[in-house]
Amino acid sequence: MRFGICTLDEFSLRGKTVLCRVDMNQPVDHENGTLKSTARIEACAPTLAEISNAGAKLVVLAHQGSDIEYKNFYTTRPHADVLSGLLGKPVTFVEDVCGPTAREAIRNMKEGDIILLDNVRFCSEEQTLFEMKLRLSHEEQAKTQVVTKLAPLADLYVCDAFAAAHRDQPTLCGFEQVLPSAMGRLFEKEYCVISELMEAPQRPCTFVLGGAKISDAFLMLETVLAGGAADRVLTGGLVGNILLLAKGETIGQASVDFIYKSNYEEYIDKARVLYEKYADKIVLPHDLAYVENGQRKECKIGAVPLAIGAVDIGSETAKEYVDYIFASKTVFVNGPMGIFEEAPTELGTKLVFEALGDTDAYTVVGGGDSVTAAKKYEVNKKISYICTGGGALIRFLTGEELPVVKALRHAAKTFGAR
């Protein structure tokens, strides 16, 4: 047992039916039905291999996108094909989550078999809006359809989804109320590495925050600044745009419209307060990039054409950020600097991640987009530690007990090991 949570070492798996919740959420190419990255699938594969090779009947649960992140809301069918290749054995995809087809498939499993159920967020109980609006307790989550239908068929629940540990949803926190439970190897590794790192980071400690997950970014921004964990915070992406807007800078009307359309206007006031309080530690872009007629163009802050939005930090800002990274002893990165998937808008992210690969600092990268960027720029093997979690990493760093951690600790006290 570690951190009050059971590990796989404490359970006999042969012949047992194991429900294993993983996070394999990846960017999706809808045109050809494939995944743009397989990093998170590769990360959880060792846990799945260990469980299956031990003779268990392995039922894998995962989400892909959400009702909020709708562009990636998709079936988990492609994930089964990737897993089959990684594990070297068939992974049967079941086009159901907890209905009759799924339950029958589980009942017919043999030792060593692996099935992957469809996207759990196809169930309304698993959707983010459901979570945010109803805020079910863990005891209430145990009474949802997905738990009451699947738990009676299982002997053990394993959570290897550290990347989703900040979520409070039935497949993450409900099964621990009714089944013996353990954390998987990836969960265990990420929990241990981040715990040890945060006890005494070497300084200067620099945080690089970007991307479009605003609630996560501003939670981390406020926490690391107030707690003194960060000596400086470099900003980009939508995070940087909101801070610039809060400061009264011009970022292009298209960017402003996007912020309001996405209901992010509440963060403008939060950004203003944070910047006024920590202006000496928050580093804002001083030039930006936009795209006009398919071409990248750069300008100083305040000169972005009104009808066009800023979609990347400028090259001068990117070079300044690189200098900060090389001057640091510890660097945390969560989120890209711009739309790195497209050539005209990838420069900021590319330079920052290449610096991560070259610096002697201890580097930690967290979040799906950041993991994808690290692999794209071929620095993933040079980074000290890559955490599959973004939101979970952020909340963990605040000292908050993550919902899944709380649920797993409950299971350890209630059921122990078997």
pLDDT of residue 198: 67
Whether 390 has a pLDDT exceeding 80, the answer reads no
Q: Are 340 and 308 in contact (CB under 8 A)?
A: no
For residues 34 and 219, what is the distance between their CA atoms, to the nearest angstrom? 32
Least confident range from 17-26, 32-41, 236-245: namely 32-41
Residue 208 has pLDDT above 80, yes or no: yes
- pLDDT tens digits along 315-369: 999 999 999 999 999 999 989 999 999 999 999 999 999 999 999 999 999 877 8
| Band of residue 413 on the pLDDT scale cut at 50, 70, 90 | very high
State the average pLDDT for the chain: 93
Q: Per the structure block, which two tokens stand in for 357?
A: 């690969």
What pTM was estimated for this model as a whole?
0.77
CA atoms within 13 A on the CB side of 107: 9
Measured CA to CA in angstroms, residue 292 lies from 65, 99, 263, 305 at distances of 30, 49, 26, 10
* Each residue's pLDDT tens digit, 235-262: 999 999 999 999 999 898 999 999 999 9
